[in-house]
Structure 1
Amino acid sequence: MNNMQIGLLIGYEGELEDAFPEDIFNAGIVVEEKIVLYNLNDIPCSFAMLMGIIYCVNLEYPTAMKYSFEFLQKVVMKIKPDQASAKVHRLRNKLQKNNF
């Protein structure tokens, strides 16, 4: 968790064979190197909670992942989609044009 600004911490058993292991026993949310929520049992719920924390506490996205988080917030979750940056608008338009 050192130097982790924002992220998910996933506890699982067994070997890691996929990006999201099936045998998850715990998931937590890390903000500024501290676990702020834990004992979450699934990844989609954990991710939604992470996005909610970012939005409610008005945190800045990590610089390296700024546009990824913005795309997820504005396009996927439809939170203030009209306020997306030009890059995110272009990507959304390309995806809509190609029926993704």
Structure 2
Amino acid sequence: MAVFVIRKEGEGLQEPPEDIGIVIDGTEVLHELTSVASACAMLLGLIDALNLAYPEPIHFTFEVLQKILMQLDQHKMSPKVYNLYIIFMKP
């Protein structure tokens, strides 16, 4: 699973990319998205809609995106993500 950004060679980060999209299992499933943020949200939606498991090496990254940043399904946090949530939500 990946979000990809294609830029013309030599272009800086200020220039809009040629394409932003999502690849799952080596297949491009979405392209021409408007931003990396929307691509991340779409990837989480695809994972949920297709009932896919988070990739094991970055399982907690996806869980933080879903549970803390997007505030979805917060009552089912793993202990590691909950501890991170407590640390960052303290006043």
SS of aligned partner of 1:48: helix
Written as runs of structure 1 = structure 2, the 5 A alignment for 1:38-49 is 38-49=31-42
Query: Would you say 1:90 and 2:83 are equivalent positions?
Result: yes
* Structure 1 unmatched ranges of 5 or more: 1-5
Query: Would you say 1:51 and 2:34 are equivalent positions?
Result: no
SS of aligned partner of 1:29: strand
| 1:41 CA displacement | 2.7
Residue 3 (structure 1) aligns with: none
| One of 7, 12, 20 as aligned partner of 2:7 | 12
In structure 2, C-alpha distance between the alignment counterparts of 1:27 and 1:54, rounded to whole Å? 18
Query: Would you say 1:26 and 2:19 are equivalent positions?
Result: yes
- TM-score w.r.t. the length of structure 2 is 0.88
In terms of fraction of residues, the more strand-rich structure is: 1
User: 1:29·1:38 contact (CA, 8 Å) conserved in 2?
Assistant: yes
Identical-pair percentage: 29
Residue 66 (structure 1) aligns with: 59
Residue 71 (structure 2) aligns with: 78
* Off by >4 Å, runs of 4+ in structure 1: none
In structure 1, C-alpha distance between the alignment counterparts of 2:3 and 2:78, rounded to whole Å? 25
* Structure 2 unmatched ranges of 5 or more: none
